[in-house]
Structure 1
């Protein structure tokens, strides 16, 4: 995505950042200096800014505040409306899994750069009935600009924890939320310890939020399901209007990724029933007939079966690289009949047999 293309809705994340830095005592004129943004734009939802402008805005804010972790502070205070319609999912999603899945799909409306991550899994299942939600950040445009990258990591950590508190099922036995960070304990570690979580572990192997599977998947706000479905339908219309999925292939891949995310989150629960991933179901979600969808994919030299296999392999690889589950378990989660079938699919996909976790294969 072009660094200077004006694609980010100003009234969403950027205005949330502006509001947050001003609350930390930063002067508005100094914050906006050199960004090409002025207060006269704030009331117009049609205004777009570039990633270059957003980057300069963040650099200004970080330079002008003496707060040791502004990303944490702003992330804990930013209003959900600054994420667009999808922000209101915190009030109506039946479960944390559905809220996280929705955020993963529709966050590209507020930050179009996330189109490059649209096909990734929300997270992965690990041992001890844990679900791991990795904290992913944009690469900074300047390699030495660590402060902006740290701001985003802290911001994403804070908002993810708020999402867990708002949408997790607090009636299950294990409601603890754990944080893992790769950085060493900073001088302001107390600010991390004050976050709404049970523990923060520094010098970890990954940046992630870890929760119990039941806390994530078990619904508890069933009376709000209709409102949730209506919200998701409106978000889907907004996504289509934004043109962020330029091809039918991309739209199908996104739909299948969404369904795989749901499948991973629900497997093992009492109410889980295997739902086949079919062309007809995908066509219905995209408001097309199965024949029209197949025709459009053919025009793009693709097919539903090919995309399904690519998504299945992507999920398998993600778990092989990140999860401590056995290879046989990963194969089952990814929808393969056996570990050997999974290896064969991966070999055909990229010429490599997944060897990273082969020590976990049952012999």
Structure 2
């Protein structure tokens, strides 16, 4: 597969496309109770009820504002490391499943590049393959403070190296990570979760990996799982580009985030904080039904298994 340069995103920053599970994880990292959430949600225009709803999507501005609030609440300069250590593959939905099922690290990084908009719309990855090294350049499409930029870069780096270790079977000690932000006072803690050489104060954040490491086979690779997750990610990316924000779309996202055929109509309605009857009525207005959406998703997944 040919490597692309910068992946151009055509998702509007005003579009609500970022899954809210990251923000709920941030709330857990802060140890917040339900009654504490209004402080975290200050100036986001998100209610506590919406925040707790699994199907809620955030805009890029809301996500950044929430992260700014979290950093202020935590009073922990190394909050990005704390959050990064909590980000299991499951936190990244179908994309996390796709990456961990990839045949090798190169394919996994291409998956990160292509489908990162389904998880964090303002993050762009650029892959540059040379004779001896593969470089992954990390870009943010929003103007953010150095504190926010550092927090995002730290959490993203930990996510990448955790996935890399899963694929190659050991820590990626031969990598070189160059961060855009200045060396923080707690820089010694980076070695606890980011292997290899680490440097600070560069023009932008980039991870460099020996090309031969990128071709090491993933002993946990599963082609069927990979193809299924790939189709799920493709479907979500297509929906984002279409700019849809309907009840049907929310239902599809919920179904794609659960094992095939396991989400019941009652559970879906509960996740949206509405009754089963209300869900059916809203879907009917859009010319859909729970059964139609479920059958469509299952049909797509069955087709993926057969290919």
Question: Could you say which structure has the larger radius of gyration?
Answer: 1
* Structure 1 position 162, deviation (Å): 1.7
The residue aligned with 2:121 is: 112
For residues 68 and 207 of structure 2, the distance between their equivalents in structure 1, rounded to whole angstroms, comes to: 26
* Structure 1 position 206, deviation (Å): 4.5
Q: TM-score, normalised by structure 1?
A: 0.56
**Does residue 186 of structure 2 align to residue 200 of structure 1?**
no
**Counterparts in 2 of 1:39 and 1:166: CA distance versus 1, 3 Å:** farther
Deviations 1:275-294 (A, max 9, x none): xxxxxxxxxxxx9xxxxxxx
* Structure 1 position 61, deviation (Å): 0.7
Map 1:219-234 to 2 at 5 A.
219-221=217-219, 224-234=222-232
Gaps of 5+ in 2: 1-10, 245-302
CA contact (8 A) 1:96 1:169 kept: no
SS in 1 for 2:77: coil
SS in 2 for 1:136: strand
Higher relative contact order structure (alpha carbons within 8 Å, sequence separation ≥ 6): 2
* Structure 1 position 98, deviation (Å): 1.3
For residues 221 and 117 of structure 2, the distance between their equivalents in structure 1, rounded to whole angstroms, comes to: 28
The residue aligned with 2:88 is: 79
The residue aligned with 1:66 is: 75
The residue aligned with 1:20 is: 29
Deviations 1:287-315 (A, max 9, x none): 9xxxxxxxxxxxxxxxxxxxxxxxxxxxx
- How many residue pairs match? The answer is 233
Map 1:141-290 to 2 at 5 A.
145-168=145-168, 170=170, 176-204=174-202, 206-221=204-219, 224-244=222-242
The residue aligned with 2:247 is: none
**Counterparts in 2 of 1:140 and 1:27: CA distance versus 1, 3 Å:** farther
* Structure 1 position 62, deviation (Å): 0.9
The residue aligned with 2:142 is: 139
For residues 15 and 29 of structure 2, the distance between their equivalents in structure 1, rounded to whole angstroms, comes to: 22
For residues 203 and 237 of structure 1, the distance between their equivalents in structure 2, rounded to whole angstroms, comes to: 38
**Counterparts in 2 of 1:63 and 1:124: CA distance versus 1, 3 Å:** same
SS in 2 for 1:123: strand
Q: TM-score, normalised by structure 2?
A: 0.65
CA contact (8 A) 1:21 1:74 kept: no
**Does residue 43 of structure 2 align to residue 34 of structure 1?**
yes
Mean CA deviation greater in 56-65 or 230-239: 230-239
For residues 15 and 137 of structure 1, the distance between their equivalents in structure 2, rounded to whole angstroms, comes to: 22
**Counterparts in 2 of 1:224 and 1:28: CA distance versus 1, 3 Å:** same
The residue aligned with 1:94 is: 103
**Counterparts in 2 of 1:123 and 1:223: CA distance versus 1, 3 Å:** closer
Gaps of 5+ in 1: 247-286, 288-363
For residues 88 and 147 of structure 1, the distance between their equivalents in structure 2, rounded to whole angstroms, comes to: 30
CA contact (8 A) 2:105 2:164 kept: yes
For residues 175 and 59 of structure 1, the distance between their equivalents in structure 2, rounded to whole angstroms, comes to: 32
**Counterparts in 2 of 1:38 and 1:168: CA distance versus 1, 3 Å:** farther
For residues 219 and 19 of structure 1, the distance between their equivalents in structure 2, rounded to whole angstroms, comes to: 35
